[in-house]
Structure 1
């Protein structure tokens, strides 16, 4: 039995995307008709959306590794608990905003979800810092970096919300 790992999913989605794009270019022979075919074919769009989801997961994993390193089991458990509730809230929000369901809207929700997740992880890390007797300089630099980045992103979101009214 094959065990599904993150690397297996990433490789599978990459191969599926390459095959979908190659199929479109094989059928249409030119760039513009191939792109139109990719956007009109529901199978191709599903593959491309899945590739976008995998790519966003990879970006999240890289940023998490840079700012947090290895997560402790307690942090993983709390994050999984919070993610479950956030997904339910997001599904409810999608039902409320179903008329405005565009790719831009989905990207904004994904970015909001990632920022929420990084806020949760930084909160757990600061709690750990308060209880731990030995804190390294790298730990301080990572926390300072993620809090600064999250503060800048939050400020941008607030200013964007006020300018869009």
Structure 2
């Protein structure tokens, strides 16, 4: 409703501005000059351009994503405010180079970020194990391919521009599109893994570890990009205070993932020997329902089966596969 009202007001003001300017000047060329020198006219045309841009983005969203879920809208608001704030802080470093051209390029960057966020949310939604329609797969595949192509084109342009004209505000765009390119590639790999898992009859136990390694490699790549970008900005413009927090958060996240990987390897090493099989008495005395998968646990003839119930030192019992998947996320008993 608010967008429609904004569109009506912008359209009426734009028509009035164009007609009024033409009546006063009488010629097309003179009218253009008059509008370009009028701050009020430029403001009206700029608001109209914003409305058209929003409408085009909504059409693209309807085509490739359809209706958005409530959680996706919430994520968009949260991430958009953060992204705009970060870009505004970055502009303080390049305030002497800012122009209308770069304002347009930054607007395109924000739109690209929005579609990358939507793509990530849709791919994460696949992890719930819900079989999606063929239209969903066509849409998400199209989005991933288009975003990868656009990221590559824009990244190539920023590199070419920097090599020709030297370090400038374009380096910010190059850094951002490098991160977006890694996000799109990560999304493609995760989509492939989720698609394979959805077509399997039995749950794919190793999928979560593959996703963990993909995220780990991506975070290392992003960390390297941050370090390089930080070094270039310090050398060229001075210390960018707004980047210190992002660099620290990225570094801490990467270190935490490395620690989780080490702890997981230790916790899952020789699980058959470290954790004894639960006996029939153990299952009888305790609830024989695995609280992770909510399925009944039974004694297995094959001790190497992934469904064999394992008893922890604390006395709680879980399926071997469930315990392994839990340890990928937490290195403590699920009941604690």
Q: TM-score range by the shorter chain?
A: over 0.9
Report the CA distance shift for 1:132/1:27 in structure 2 as closer, same or farther (over 3 A): farther
1:39 aligns with one of 36, 51, 54: 36
Residues 29-76 of structure 1, C-alpha deviations (whole Å, 9 max, x = no match): 111111011010000000011111111111111111111100000000
Q: For 2:100, which of 78, 98, 103 is the aligned residue? A: 103
Q: Which has the larger share of helix?
A: 1
Tell me the equivalent position of 1:115: 112
Tell me the number of residue pairs that the alignment of Structure 1 and Structure 2 aligns: 162
SS in 1 for 2:68: coil
Give the C-alpha shift of residue 103 in structure 1: 2.0
Give the drift of 1:93: 2.5
The match for 1:71 among 63, 68, 72 is: 68
* 1:5 is aligned to 2:2: yes
Structure with larger RCO (C-alpha < 8 A, sep 6+): 1
Runs of 4+ in 1 over 4 A off after TM superposition: none
Task: Report the TM-score when normalising by structure 1.
Answer: 0.94
> What is the CA RMSD across the aligned residues, in angstroms?
1.2
Report deviation, 1:134.
2.1
Gaps of 5+ in 1: none
- Counterpart Cα distance in 2 of 1:114 and 1:10: 19
TM-superposed deviation, 1:97: 2.4
Q: Which of 114, 128, 131 is the matching residue for 2:125?
A: 128
- Residue segments in structure 2 that go unaligned for 5+ positions in a row: 164-336
Q: Distance in 2 between matches of 1:57 and 1:142?
A: 20
Following superposition, the deviation at residue 132 of structure 1 comes to 4.0
Aligned counterparts of 1:132 and 1:56: Cα–Cα separation in 2: 35
Aligned to 1:163: 160
Q: Distance in 2 between matches of 1:112 and 1:67?
A: 18
52-61 vs 89-98, greater mean Cα deviation: 89-98
Residue in structure 2 matching 1:146, options 143, 147, 155: 143
Larger Rg: 2
Secondary structure at the aligned position of 1:96 is classed as: coil
Q: CA deviation at 1:90?
A: 2.0
| Residue 82 of structure 1: how far off its partner (Å) | 0.2
Residue 84 of structure 1 is aligned with which of 81, 85, 88?
Answer: 81
